[in-house]
Chain A
């Protein structure tokens, strides 16, 4: 009987080992462990044996059964692990299925990045209409009466109003600054807000000049603040946009609606300030003008310049986008050319 059991064990283990599919293993399991298996039959016939034999054979049989169980489980585990949902291997180098979807214009993306940055600093987003008047575009902003921008050729005046003046002479806004007075007239001070938008200049168009382009202006009006706080704001914003701290410098600049006025240059990101074609070899790129709001502008907004002060910055969105991606032709932004726009996914 012992020899028989030994044979059953060896044969059984061989059988398990030779099995190659889970389905076949199921059969083997039945063969070895099932009710009609040799082991089951032996166990059923134990009663006919002597007490001593019964104990010995019973123990041995159970051991073999346990061994089979373990081996069967192990085999099943191995067979399961080597199974695939695919009938055959596939070409893993084929490209994945494209995620379809459109893209926002790169200028819009930049604008939203800035909105996020400014909102985190407590700014509100404001907007003004495309058409404004000489009063808001020039008079309120301390532009001299005979400033060249007021002439026929530099600004797009609206037909029928071009020979009138002040609030009756309408134009496509030549800059965003007029909106600052509109906001302050409506909401008063203190205030901190941004007002992105498109502006229009009657210019000849080339790779670096456009007739319609986007600006992003921010203004803070408060009591007792110094222009040097503007620097913190500028650095914070550039860091948000470019993802790291950017060297900037502030230099003298003149704009009628500020006193003092400054130009803010950032270190050229292309050459790291060493000088290259992009920065015309001086290492710096003019990125935004700014300055302390002029007392006359505060007066137009109904605010007392002895109480209130503040500062502007004005960012050219296209220029920032061009810097970010190395775009070399400003005309592409209004081209509606999907070969260009699709690159900004």
Chain B
């Protein structure tokens, strides 16, 4: 919302040494966030009033003229101009060299320089309204028309901002910071805050009195729960004309367009006190009666642009005895418009409830200046401020105007909130004892009525804060704290009541796992979105029958919430392959699937969440990738201090290669898999010319060890003997069989190398393994070592058909 400081100053006399920047700062700390301070004069710099003294023909152009113009400098200047309405003695708007203008009212501002046009020098430019931000003040009728200041009080050389009263500073306020403060949606409310902040008096607003024996206008409220008050005033001898300059300026400062005096008065009152008004042409109200009712089934409202909108029985309308005239509190229809032939109006000053305005506004996806204010929940007493100010302005702008009928239908008055505020509560929550003078003064100046009795402040909130904003003692406490500023309260130390050790075991395990993957295993952590492009889900062959979906997804192909992190991994791999050939990435995040889970209470049923940790190793060598990923999982439990993970080979993950996958087992339960991406998955995901090993584990199943469990083993007194053994076995013999055969017979068994190729008989492979053997009580002799090795070889032969490989 834009707040004009000129306007605010109508209601408070601010200290003269106060800068707009300071006002913005003080308001920001205490009341609302001022996002920007805008000096409205800035855009009018070097744009002045000029008086055309003489017009000469341009020697080289028929459509251009040479205007000898007095712009308040020592000598008149020559300006080349092609305006259609030039005459000698005309008061015009001149952009001097250095001024910035918008050519034809479009695009970015351009700096004016001394120039020559068709060989004739031109000192600046005589401007059309839209070129120098004057279209709100001097609407032009044709394209070549320049601004004629006839009838406007001004003198040559005067800055145009002063002529049109735009010597204003505007505070741009963040609307979000105003959502709870209906009272601040008008300048009077902002002025009240400033009066409190700077401790200066707030001026009174006008009041009104309806002359006695005025005819009663007919108003019927059929839905008092939606319309709490409706004042209808019939005024005659008003008509379409322009508003005075000062009013146009203030409306312009607030970012609205002046239209005509009648409409401008309604907008002005809204901007002043935050109460929306609406004016109907009185001849358009059939039966001279206003009815506030719900729309009928299949009813339509005809709009000014001849479109119609279909109404529902939920929508509140303003209607005459025949048709709906307007959508209450949101917008008018065609029939209610002020037209050139208007001579009298019915002025609506009404209170509609926030919820009805929000509902209807939402359905039509429409926010208007009126509906934004009603949505904040306005009190019913505001109607009086609106009526009084509007009547004053009609009298001022239309000398001959006259009230002919009036009605105040007022079924539901807003009630002021009453709150008891114990002194002790304030002392503790504020962390500081404030004097009762201070408290009373702040509250009173904010409009509260305060009555201190037996250590309890009995306060009545001002009516303009009583529509939801202030209802609890915490709200009142907050008002006191913010006016003094939160940061003026000395910071209090926080004490810790130490009662038990905080374990956070699972959270710390999560960190260990992530750090293990990144720092030891060399993976880079990524985050991807929970909604994954369907094409990657399909590529990974993930079953989506029990997937959870979004009702309004970011895009139609992003409706499915992931049940596996693999599809996101595929997308990340495909993207990164543009820049890298070898890399490792991992992600840890929640996945979901349909199911029933009660986290906090029985009535809330959430889908099943699992936290997965998924990683990928990308490089050309598939086999190497596989064994690397297997190593990462094998070592994980040890390094991360969690219970062990083992492997089995039971169920192929949908994305895995038929020959290379393992399931990861933890406490006899499969909690994930590792494997190579199958060619078909890579093909669908457009992962080309490389290979990928994947792991995906359900982190929720991991169990952290309560502490480190490394166990100490005495270092052998006698040296172990290390021996390498190369054997030939049939290709199908697995390492697991070798282990089974001899692992229990040696101190250590280590796999060194597997080889198959030309030097090996077909169907065979060579395995090199390393064993450590030893005896705790004596050093083995070379004979004993030979015997031992012989024995191992026999075992390997017997169980695995191995023979020693001849070098």
Instruction: Give the B-binding residues of A (Cβ under 8 A).
Output: 100-105, 107-108, 112, 115, 119, 121-125, 127-133, 135-136, 144-146, 151-153, 156-162, 166-168, 170, 172, 181-182, 185-186, 190, 198, 200, 202, 211-212, 220, 224-229, 231-233, 235, 249-254, 259-263, 280, 292, 294-295, 305, 309, 333-339, 341-342
**Chain A: which residue is nearest B359 at the CB level?**
A146
B492: chain A residues within 8 A (beta carbon): 225-226, 228-229, 232
A136 & B359 in contact (Cβ 8 Å cutoff):
no
B521: min CB distance to chain A, Å: 7
A254: min CB distance to chain B, Å: 5
B362 & A170 in contact (Cβ 8 Å cutoff):
no
Report the Cα distance A260→B472, complex, angstroms.
Answer: 11
B486 & A338 in contact (Cβ 8 Å cutoff):
no
Report the Cα distance A132→B760, complex, angstroms.
Answer: 62
B476: min CB distance to chain A, Å: 10
B694: min CB distance to chain A, Å: 15
What is the count of residue pairs linking A and B with beta-carbon distances less than 8 angstroms? 246
B487: chain A residues within 8 A (beta carbon): 231, 249-251
Q: With A112-B511, A158-B550 in contact, do A131 and B607 touch (Cβ < 8 Å)?
A: yes
A129 & B606 in contact (Cβ 8 Å cutoff):
yes
B474 & A259 in contact (Cβ 8 Å cutoff):
yes
B526 & A224 in contact (Cβ 8 Å cutoff):
no
Name the contact of B525 in the complex, choosing from A102, A198, A251, A253 (C-beta under 8 A). A102
A102 & B498 in contact (Cβ 8 Å cutoff):
no
For A136, A159, A225, the residue with the greatest tally of chain B CB atoms inside 10 Å of its CB is A159
Q: With A133-B604, A211-B529, A338-B580 in contact, do A228 and B609 touch (Cβ < 8 Å)?
A: no
B204: min CB distance to chain A, Å: 27
Name the contact of A292 in the complex, choosing from B429, B528, B550, B590 (C-beta under 8 A). B429
Report the Cα distance A315→B358, complex, angstroms.
Answer: 31
B33 & A251 in contact (Cβ 8 Å cutoff):
yes
Name the contact of A121 in the complex, choosing from B31, B496, B519, B605 (C-beta under 8 A). B496
SS of A interface (majority) = mixed
Report the Cα distance A341→B587, complex, angstroms.
Answer: 13
A131: chain B residues within 8 A (beta carbon): 548, 561, 592, 606-607, 609
B477 located at the interface, meaning its Cβ lies under 8 Å from any Cβ of chain A in the complex: yes
B530: chain A residues within 8 A (beta carbon): 130, 172, 200, 212
For A227, A261, A334, A339, the residue with the greatest tally of chain B CB atoms inside 10 Å of its CB is A227
Q: With A122-B496, A170-B607 in contact, do A260 and B486 touch (Cβ < 8 Å)?
A: yes
A229: chain B residues within 8 A (beta carbon): 431, 491-494
Q: With A228-B489, A229-B493 in contact, do A145 and B355 touch (Cβ < 8 Å)?
A: yes
B525 & A122 in contact (Cβ 8 Å cutoff):
no
Q: With A182-B600, A232-B493, A338-B580 in contact, do A102 and B482 touch (Cβ < 8 Å)?
A: no
B528: chain A residues within 8 A (beta carbon): 334, 336
A102 & B29 in contact (Cβ 8 Å cutoff):
no
Report the Cα distance A104→B519, complex, angstroms.
Answer: 8
B580: chain A residues within 8 A (beta carbon): 338
Report the Cα distance A132→B176, complex, angstroms.
Answer: 25
B604 & A135 in contact (Cβ 8 Å cutoff):
yes
B527 located at the interface, meaning its Cβ lies under 8 Å from any Cβ of chain A in the complex: yes
A252 & B576 in contact (Cβ 8 Å cutoff):
no
B514 located at the interface, meaning its Cβ lies under 8 Å from any Cβ of chain A in the complex: yes
Name the contact of B551 in the complex, choosing from A115, A157, A253 (C-beta under 8 A). A157
A124 & B502 in contact (Cβ 8 Å cutoff):
yes
B586: chain A residues within 8 A (beta carbon): 102
Q: With A124-B504, A249-B29, A294-B474 in contact, do A158 and B549 touch (Cβ < 8 Å)?
A: yes
Report the Cα distance A251→B551, complex, angstroms.
Answer: 37
A309: chain B residues within 8 A (beta carbon): 429
Contact code string B110-138 (vs A, CB < 8 Å = 1, else 0): 00000000000000000000000000000
B481 located at the interface, meaning its Cβ lies under 8 Å from any Cβ of chain A in the complex: yes
**Chain A: which residue is nearest B571 at the CB level?**
A336
Band of interface residues on B: 35 or more
B732 located at the interface, meaning its Cβ lies under 8 Å from any Cβ of chain A in the complex: no
**Chain B: which residue is nearest A161 at the CB level?**
B551
Contact code string B533-555 (vs A, CB < 8 Å = 1, else 0): 00000000000000011111110
**Chain B: which residue is nearest A135 at the CB level?**
B604
B502 & A122 in contact (Cβ 8 Å cutoff):
yes
**Chain A: which residue is nearest B428 at the CB level?**
A224
6 closest A-B pairs by CB: A226-B431, A260-B478, A336-B572, A162-B551, A167-B604, A250-B486
A170: min CB distance to chain B, Å: 7
B180 located at the interface, meaning its Cβ lies under 8 Å from any Cβ of chain A in the complex: yes
Report the Cα distance A129→B592, complex, angstroms.
Answer: 10
Contact code string B566-585 (vs A, CB < 8 Å = 1, else 0): 00100110011001100111
B20 located at the interface, meaning its Cβ lies under 8 Å from any Cβ of chain A in the complex: no
Report the Cα distance A93→B572, complex, angstroms.
Answer: 37
A81: min CB distance to chain B, Å: 36
**Chain B: which residue is nearest A222 at the CB level?**
B497
B354 located at the interface, meaning its Cβ lies under 8 Å from any Cβ of chain A in the complex: yes
Q: With A226-B429, A254-B177 in contact, do A105 and B606 touch (Cβ < 8 Å)?
A: no
B355: chain A residues within 8 A (beta carbon): 145-146
B475: chain A residues within 8 A (beta carbon): 259
A156: chain B residues within 8 A (beta carbon): 550-553
Report the Cα distance A129→B504, complex, angstroms.
Answer: 17
Contact code string B601-612 (vs A, CB < 8 Å = 1, else 0): 101111101000
Q: With A102-B525, A227-B429, A334-B529 in contact, do A254 and B585 touch (Cβ < 8 Å)?
A: no
**Chain A: which residue is nearest B607 at the CB level?**
A131
B445: min CB distance to chain A, Å: 16
B525 & A104 in contact (Cβ 8 Å cutoff):
yes
A245: min CB distance to chain B, Å: 13
Segment 426-452 of B: residues with Cβ below 8 Å from A: 428-432
Q: With A125-B507, A339-B579 in contact, do A212 and B529 touch (Cβ < 8 Å)?
A: yes
B423 located at the interface, meaning its Cβ lies under 8 Å from any Cβ of chain A in the complex: no
Name the contact of A341 in the complex, choosing from B32, B493, B524 (C-beta under 8 A). B524
A295 & B525 in contact (Cβ 8 Å cutoff):
no
Name the contact of B518 in the complex, choosing from A101, A252, A292, A334 (C-beta under 8 A). A101
A108: chain B residues within 8 A (beta carbon): 514, 525
A141: min CB distance to chain B, Å: 13
A226: chain B residues within 8 A (beta carbon): 428-432, 489, 492
Report the Cα distance A101→B559, complex, angstroms.
Answer: 35
Name the contact of A336 in the complex, choosing from B561, B576, B604 (C-beta under 8 A). B576
A124: min CB distance to chain B, Å: 5
B636: min CB distance to chain A, Å: 14
B28: chain A residues within 8 A (beta carbon): 251-252
Report the Cα distance A151→B29, complex, angstroms.
Answer: 31
B507 & A127 in contact (Cβ 8 Å cutoff):
yes
Report the Cα distance A294→B561, complex, angstroms.
Answer: 33
A155: min CB distance to chain B, Å: 9
B493: chain A residues within 8 A (beta carbon): 229, 232
Report the Cα distance A186→B530, complex, angstroms.
Answer: 27
B524 & A260 in contact (Cβ 8 Å cutoff):
no
A105: chain B residues within 8 A (beta carbon): 525-527
Name the contact of B579 in the complex, choosing from A103, A107, A130, A338 (C-beta under 8 A). A338
A233: chain B residues within 8 A (beta carbon): 494
Q: With A295-B472, A337-B576 in contact, do A103 and B359 touch (Cβ < 8 Å)?
A: no
B493: min CB distance to chain A, Å: 6
A254: chain B residues within 8 A (beta carbon): 176-177, 179-181
B517 located at the interface, meaning its Cβ lies under 8 Å from any Cβ of chain A in the complex: yes
B561: chain A residues within 8 A (beta carbon): 131, 172
B590 & A129 in contact (Cβ 8 Å cutoff):
yes
Name the contact of A159 in the complex, choosing from B519, B549, B600 (C-beta under 8 A). B549
B431 & A260 in contact (Cβ 8 Å cutoff):
no
B634: chain A residues within 8 A (beta carbon): none
B523 located at the interface, meaning its Cβ lies under 8 Å from any Cβ of chain A in the complex: yes
Segment 585-644 of B: residues with Cβ below 8 Å from A: 585-586, 589-590, 592, 599-601, 603-607, 609
Report the Cα distance A156→B605, complex, angstroms.
Answer: 17
Report the Cα distance A128→B502, complex, angstroms.
Answer: 18
A121: chain B residues within 8 A (beta carbon): 494, 496
B519: chain A residues within 8 A (beta carbon): 101-102
